[in-house]
Structure 1
Amino acid sequence: MGLIARLGMQHPVIQAPMAGISTPALAAAVSGAGGLGSLGLGAMTPAQAALAMAQTAALTPRPFAVNLFCHQPHAPDPAAERAWLDRLRPHFTRFSAQPPAALRDIYPSFIGNRAMLDAVIAARPAMVSFHFGLPDRAQIAALRDAGAVLAATATSVQEGRAIAAAGLDAIIAQGWQAGGHRGIFDPAARDERLSTPDLLAALLPVGLPVIAAGGIMDAAGSRAALDAGASAVQCGTAFLLAPEAATPPAHRAALAQGQTVMTAAISGRPARCCANLFTAIADRGTPGYPRTYDAGKALNTAALAAGETGYGAHWAGTGCARAIARPAAQTVAALAP
């Protein structure tokens, strides 16, 4: 049985999970329109994740997906953290605020997180995908026993092979054009920066179904990916202007500018964002993810209190200027080949 049939989809269109932006209403609308809606659980507690999954299931009888962050723990480096906070201090001072005295691991990894595993197993989503790496073997086995289709993001052939070796069902090929955080397993490793078509072509010989992600904004883009061998497409930026999405007004406005930058300054991991005051900060020497993000969120909060929206994490892909404000179901139809 093919991937689309296993997931009960009418259209080979998956809505990217987009932690902080995706909502139960968005995931349900996409699934209800014949695609596969997704929830980004990476920034949630197990209790929050359980509630979001329950709300999605209450809104649609259709299958949906969830995504989990599998980053390796980043050891605290007090010297690097002090240096980074000192670099940000003038920006805080601009808003009569002080940077945090210390940084926290605000987003725990899914690796070893039994409470999150239990929440996901109880909700039984149709697909579970992983970002930043892979969970441990016991977690993979437990999710498989629960009946989930398992997928993970790859930015290189090496990562795709690791996904296949772990026994997962599909690879999400995240091209350089994609918005949000790069799924690269080791942020210190060289990033080949392959475009979506080039990465798709490189990953197909691995032997698993490949989901193409990055820069796909319309049916023509979907058809091109499918004709090149993709089993489905995953789109996030195309859904950012949907009324069901939790995209803040400033983020919605920034999309029209059409300028994006890859930066680690906001969170400590490379991510594609609309160009703004935060992306103008050199991202050398960040103290790693997610501790850097603790500082980034604090700076954005201080800026917003003063009416400045230019320090937001306005994640978006290179096609952001082509995003259209319309209900999510209409975007699924517009993306369907």
Structure 2
Amino acid sequence: MKWQDRRLLDLFGIEHPILQAPMAGVTSPQMAIATSEAGALGSIAGAMLTPDGLRQEFQMVKQGTARPFNVNFFVHKAPTVDAARDAAWRRKLAGYYEELGVAPGTKGPSRAAFDATACDLVLEFMPKVVSFHFGLPDKALMQRLKAAGIVIIASATTAEEARWLEGEGTDAVIAQGAEAGGHRGMFLVEDISRQAGTMALVPQVVDAVKVPVIAAGGIGDGRGIAAALALGAAGAQIGTAFMLSPEARTGALHRAALKKANDNSTVLTNVFTGRPARGIVNRIVSEVGPMSAEAPAFPLTAEATQPLRGPAEAKGSTDFTPLWSGQAPTLAREMPAGELVKAMVRETQAVLGRVRG
């Protein structure tokens, strides 16, 4: 396949303008290896890994492929603990603690922002691409990455955010539409009710910046990739479509929920982490959220909700599990990640061939 727009291919050193989304808790080194080996850009999700965990994943991917890959980090600011708000949030969840017979937790899953330690690891293993969510790290860390020749990309949910990212030296921008699963990459805006969908966002971001734009949100097959390219994007980032692959770390209950889900199964909610993220509606989302003004700042909310998850899952329930998914769960396919990439390339070729023909 000869792609007409080679900007991303040349920038990343890949064959196909497809990025496997770095989904924390779902992405695995095996998924990144398979995706990169198929000619797309595989990704490691560094947001919830300890330095030792990140080192291990780097080593596994480096051993599994010599091709380019991406590693993603969150760059949120450390929250200020609001004791009163935290206490109110725990009171709101008290009935669930009692029902499940668990004590209110004090620690949730770690979500560390990119720092000097992570930067040292990146420079040790030298992935081709580093991507950021919720903005960019401080200038000193950015300069270290740029000086090493690492390609930097980041998510934007508005044209304003995209222009800011470009002005700070980002090499490409991911235009994340409202349809995307997981956390919103927003950092200059907060009102999720005004977030544009992918179809509306991508051409406006393309018009706003000179760097290549990567479309994300609701894209799960060749039709979506072709549409993204038609809108002026240089490529597409795809997440939910990979979540049923054998390489995905998606849990059994989460897989079952994805298979049952459809186009109106998801919502943006902050009840799991304190930041809006798209997932399948379950009990806690519908009873406490989806958006709760009482939820503590990200990621402190998770400290109170996380203890509910294990006991419920032990009973086969997803009442308190974050079931991250984009708006196109029915496009997820139970096939190896590499085969999925090849299938999407064939589908995109077929769509573009019909258009050009």
TM-score under structure 2 length normalisation: 0.90
* Structure 1 unmatched runs, 5+: none
What root-mean-square deviation, in Å, do the aligned CA atoms of Structure 1 and Structure 2 show?
A: 1.5
- Distance in 2 between the 1:285 and 1:333 partners? 45
User: Does structure 1 conserve the Cα–Cα contact (< 8 Å) formed by 2:100 and 2:308?
Assistant: no
3-state SS of paired residue (1:134):
coil
1:297 to 299, 303, 306: 306
- Distance in 1 between the 2:108 and 2:41 partners? 34
Structure 1, residues 72-124: CA drift from partner, whole Å, max 9, x if none? 22110000000001111111211111212x457832211xx211110111111
User: Does structure 2 conserve the Cα–Cα contact (< 8 Å) formed by 1:196 and 1:215?
Assistant: yes
Structure 1 position 189, deviation (Å): 4.7
Alpha-carbon spacing, 1:191–1:158, altered in 2? closer, same or farther (3 Å): farther
Structure 1, residues 207-259: CA drift from partner, whole Å, max 9, x if none? 11100000011101101111111111000000000000100011111112221
User: Does structure 2 conserve the Cα–Cα contact (< 8 Å) formed by 1:17 and 1:38?
Assistant: yes
2:111 counterpart of 1:107: yes
3-state SS of paired residue (1:129):
strand
3-state SS of paired residue (1:314):
coil
Structure 1 position 311, deviation (Å): 1.4
* Structure 2 unmatched runs, 5+: 1-5, 349-357
User: Does structure 2 conserve the Cα–Cα contact (< 8 Å) formed by 1:187 and 1:270?
Assistant: no
User: Does structure 2 conserve the Cα–Cα contact (< 8 Å) formed by 1:95 and 1:306?
Assistant: no
- Distance in 1 between the 2:179 and 2:40 partners? 22
Structure 1, residues 158-210: CA drift from partner, whole Å, max 9, x if none? 11111011011000000000000001115645653101121111111221110
1:174-193, aligned counterparts within 5 Å? 174-186=176-188, 188-189=190-191, 192-193=194-195
- Aligned letter for 1:271? A
- Aligned letter for 2:64? L
Cross-structure match for 2:267 = 261
Per mean C-alpha deviation after superposition, the further-off stretch among 70-79 and 181-190 is 181-190
1:64 to 65, 69, 74: 69
- Distance in 2 between the 1:146 and 1:189 partners? 36
3-state SS of paired residue (1:130):
strand
Cross-structure match for 1:97 = 102
1:139-218, aligned counterparts within 5 Å? 139-186=141-188, 188-189=190-191, 192-205=194-207, 206-218=209-221
Cross-structure match for 2:354 = none
3-state SS of paired residue (1:246):
coil
User: Does structure 1 conserve the Cα–Cα contact (< 8 Å) formed by 2:155 and 2:175?
Assistant: yes
- Distance in 1 between the 2:189 and 2:87 partners? 21
2:238 to 232, 235, 238: 235
User: Does structure 2 conserve the Cα–Cα contact (< 8 Å) formed by 1:179 and 1:316?
Assistant: yes
Structure 1 position 305, deviation (Å): 3.5
Structure 1 position 11, deviation (Å): 1.0
